Structure formats: C-alpha cells, structure tokens
C-alpha cells in the first residue's frame, strides 16, 4: 500500500471505508463528468450552493408534476413543493447517501403530501387539471383533436384512480422509480406496490383505448 | 407469469408524457433557490420562528406580574412582617381588611376608585361632588360628628368659607374612623393602656377590632394576664 493512501471512514459517506490519496476530494473525483445526485447533495452540505441548483434543476419539474397530479390542486402543489425542498435543504448537513437520492427525494415528497392531506382535507375533492395544450405544426386537425381527447380521458382517469395507485403510477412515471423503490417510498411491500402499479396502468390503458373499443 | 413489463405500458407512458408537461412556476424556483442560499425561511419555518419569542415574552410577562403581585401583598402586611408570632402573621390581613371596611364602604358609595380618593388630591378636585345629604343619612350620629369635624378642618385649611369637596371629607373621615377602630401608638405603649383601649373598643360594640387588638397585645406582651371581667 502506498504511504499516501489511507483508509478513511466518513460518517458523511454512510460510514463506508474508502481509499484515496486526498480524502477531501473523495466524492469530487467521481463526478468530474456527470455529477451524481448524492454527490451534489454532499457538496451542497459542504456549502456549495451551485451544486444544489444543479440538483434542483434536475428534479424540480418532475417533483412539481408528481405533487400536482397527486394533490389535484395547484395551490396545494405549490405549498407542498416548497415544503419538500425546504426539508431537503434542511437535511443537507445530515444527509447520508445510503439509498438513491431520487428515492430519498420522492420519499420526502410523499410524506409531505401525506402530512398535507392530514392537515387539510380539501385534497379529497380532486379536480381535473386543465391540460396545457401543445400542437405540432404539421398535425392535422383530426389528429390534434384526437390527441386532445386522449389527454382529457387520461387526465380524468388519473383523477379517478385510487390515491395509492395514482401515487405508484406517478412515482414510476415522474421519478422513474422501480417497484422496489416505489415500495420503499410508499412504505408497503414489493407485491403491494407492484399490484397497485399494475392496476393503475390497466385502468389508464382502458381509458386510452375506450373510444377505439366503442367504435 | 407477472413481470414488470405488465406494470409498464409504453402507450400509457407516452400518453402521460404528452399530458404532463407542466413546469415549475418561476416564482417557486426563485423561492426555493433563495431558501437554498439561506436567504429565505420556509412558510412553516417562518410560523415556527414566532413561537419561541412569543413564548419567552409570555413567560417574562407572567413572571413580572407574579413578582409585582407578591411585592404588593408584602406591602399590605407591614404589621405582620414586624411581628414574631406566626399567628399574628396569619391574622394581619384580616385585621387590615377589618380596618378598611368602612373606607371601602365609603368608596363604593361614592363610586370613586380607592386609590384616587386617598392618594390623589389633585384629581379629587375634578371629581363630581357627592350628595352630602345622601351620604349623611347613611351614618349614625357619632359618625356624623366626625364628618362635621373633618368638614370644619378642611374649611380652615383651605381658608375659604366654601365647604371642601365631599370626597376629601369622606377620605378624612375614613382615616379618622380607621384610627377609631384601632388603638394608637400611645395606647400601645404599655400593656395597661393598650388593654384600656381594647375595653373602650368593646364598649363601642367593636368586638372584632377589640379581639384583634387583644391578640396583638398578647403577642407584644406575652406576660400580660387579661383581668377577669367578673372581678
């Protein structure tokens, strides 16, 4: 072993023993090209505000959409969104990269949503959000209408899904989480998470295919 | 066989991607990034920030009120504080209460606050004059002699022929009445004179002040033997 390679055990790195010549740059070397979320969070914990901004820009829209679809209200989504990031900011000193950062982030978001639901019951009256309209320039009016209707049907179907199924579907779509990660975030076992996801996908598929079946 | 592919339909995903294209509002971005730089508190953090100062202020305020209340209670019991007997300490507030009964009665009748009547003569001049006849009807003849005496004295002090304000008369009367309800310092100089004063109080049907005075006498002169009333 080289004299300048010393084993270090850092609580900030989950207590893992790492070998490196310059302990202060233990995580910095790993993110020369693509900074990992956890590494960015650790850098932010060390006072690098720019690292947080990168991290935030990666996840802000997905988290916002997750909360928006889950709560069904823009005001609620705004409140929970701020609360989620407030908690992430507060956790910067104690953060340990024991799991994937996305799992940690969505777990915080999920818990904030549950807390919000307990605080005020208004979420129970979910409203269908107005979809933002996008149209391709080369798209025929018929196709555009069909797409618009499909979006509307999907939106309604999403709203009518049971909360757990909608949560599982949104975690998959927005967070890109696996079934195991969904189970970890929602605090249920793998089979339950898988079942919820399957039911959700089946219902949404039926909603999309509905006009084709009827015609 | 159930696989993860059953839980994921590309058509559903595409349809959802097509639908969900919302972006975070720029003002939310600004708020969060400002929070991350430590420039702004969260909404709930802001609410929590109030709790501690308010709790401290409430604690200090209550403590001050309690200390003030305690100091006022101590001020009201000077006789008890100077005495050595615990029983005297217990009786002191009752005695003070008894001595102040007449004054309180007068004050209630005149609808004037107690502190104003006794301690603030300049304010008294602005007080509405009491109906002298109605007050006079309330007192017995000997009480009225005290009132008249106070009236005379006030008139002499002011140097005018006009009668002094009724509230001042009543305050002076109450003071005199207080003195009449208890023995003065001369009477308390010896056990015999003190007891004579107590006898005087008994003869005046002031049994309660007489009892209190006797207790004070016995506390001050433990060797004093009360004479047998039959002998």
Q: How far is B55 from chain A (nearest CA, A)?
A: 24
Decide if B15 and A78 are in contact by the 8 Å CB cutoff.
Answer: no
Task: Give the one of B16, B21, B36 whose C-beta lies nearest to A52's C-beta.
Answer: B36
Q: What ipTM, to 2 d.p.?
A: 0.73
Go through A141-154 and write b for each residue having 16 or more CB atoms within 10 A of its CB, e for each that does not: eeeeeebeebbebb
pLDDT digits (tens, 9 = 90+) for A27-68: 544 445 578 899 999 999 988 899 999 999 999 999 999 999
Task: Give the one of B2, B16, B29 whose C-beta lies nearest to A173's C-beta.
Answer: B16
Interface A:B, Cβ pairs < 8 A = 101
Task: Report the SS3 class of residue A20.
Answer: strand
Decide if A131 and B19 are in contact by the 8 Å CB cutoff.
Answer: yes
Query: Count of alpha carbons within 13 Å of A122, Cβ hemisphere only?
Result: 8
Rounded CA gap, B132 and B149, in Å? 14
Listed in order, strand segments (DSSP E) in chain A are: 6-9, 17-20
Q: Which residue of B lies nearest to A53 if distances are taken between CA atoms?
A: B33
Tell me which residue has tokens 């055990």. A9
Residue by residue, pLDDT tens for chain B (231 residues) are 444 456 778 888 888 988 888 899 999 999 999 988 875 555 555 666 788 889 999 999 999 999 999 888 877 765 544 544 545 445 545 555 555 554 555 555 555 444 444 444 444 444 444 445 544 455 444 555 665 666 666 666 656 555 555 666 666 656 665 656 678 888 888 888 888 888 888 888 888 888 888 888 888 888 888 877 665
Taking CA atoms, B111 is separated from A45, B101, B107, in Å, by 70, 15, 6
Hey, which residues 73-92 in chain A have their CB within 8 Å of chain B? 78-79, 81-83, 85-86, 89
Q: Does B152 touch chain A (CB under 8 A)?
A: no
Decide if B24 and A205 are in contact by the 8 Å CB cutoff.
Answer: no
pTM, two decimals, is 0.50
């Amino acid at each position: 072993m080289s004299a300048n390679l010393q084993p270090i055990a850092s609580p900030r790195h989950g207590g893992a023993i790492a070998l490196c010549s310059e302990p202060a740059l233990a995580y910095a070397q790993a993110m020369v090209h693509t900074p990992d979320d956890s590494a960015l969070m650790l850098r932010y914990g060390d006072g690098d505000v720019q690292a947080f901004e990168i991290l935030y820009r990666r996840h802000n829209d997905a988290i916002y959409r997750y909360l928006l679809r889950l709560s069904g209200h823009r005001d609620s989504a705004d409140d929970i969104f701020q609360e989620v990031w407030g908690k992430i900011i507060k956790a910067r000193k104690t953060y340990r990269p024991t799991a994937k950062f996305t799992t940690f982030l969505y777990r915080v978001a999920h818990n904030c949503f549950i807390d919000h639901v307990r605080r005020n019951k208004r979420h129970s009256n979910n409203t269908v959000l107005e979809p933002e309209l996008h149209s391709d320039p080369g798209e025929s009016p018929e196709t555009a209408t069909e797409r618009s209707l499909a979006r509307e049907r999907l939106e309604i179907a999403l709203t009518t899904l049971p909360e757990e199924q909608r949560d599982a579907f949104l975690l998959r779509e927005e967070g890109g989480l696996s079934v195991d990660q969904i189970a970890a975030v929602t605090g249920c076992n793998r089979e339950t998470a898988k079942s919820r996801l399957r039911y959700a996908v089946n219902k949404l598929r039926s909603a999309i295919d509905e006009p084709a079946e009827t015609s | 066989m159930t696989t993860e592919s059953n839980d994921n339909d590309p058509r559903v995903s595409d349809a959802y991607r097509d639908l969900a294209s919302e972006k975070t509002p720029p003002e939310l971005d600004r708020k969060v990034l400002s929070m991350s730089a430590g420039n702004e508190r969260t909404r709930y953090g802001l609410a929590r920030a109030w709790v501690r100062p308010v709790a401290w202020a409430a604690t200090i305020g209550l403590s001050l009120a309690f200390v003030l209340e305690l100091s006022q209670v101590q001020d009201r019991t000077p006789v008890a504080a100077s005495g050595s007997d615990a029983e005297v300490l217990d009786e002191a507030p009752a005695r003070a209460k008894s001595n102040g009964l007449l004054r309180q009665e007068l004050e209630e009748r005149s609808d004037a606050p107690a502190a104003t009547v006794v301690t603030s003569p300049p304010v008294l001049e602005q007080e509405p004059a009491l109906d002298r006849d109605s007050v006079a009807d309330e007192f017995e003849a000997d009480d009225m002699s005290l009132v008249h005496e106070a009236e005379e004295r006030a008139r002499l002090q002011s140097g005018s022929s006009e009668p002094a304000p009724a509230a001042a008369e009543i305050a002076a009367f109450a003071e005199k009445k207080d003195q009449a309800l208890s023995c003065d310092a001369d009477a308390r100089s010896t056990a015999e004179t003190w007891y004579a004063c107590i006898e005087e109080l008994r003869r005046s049907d002031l049994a309660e002040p007489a009892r209190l005075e006797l207790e004070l006498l016995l506390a001050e002169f433990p060797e004093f033997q009360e004479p047998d009333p039959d002998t």
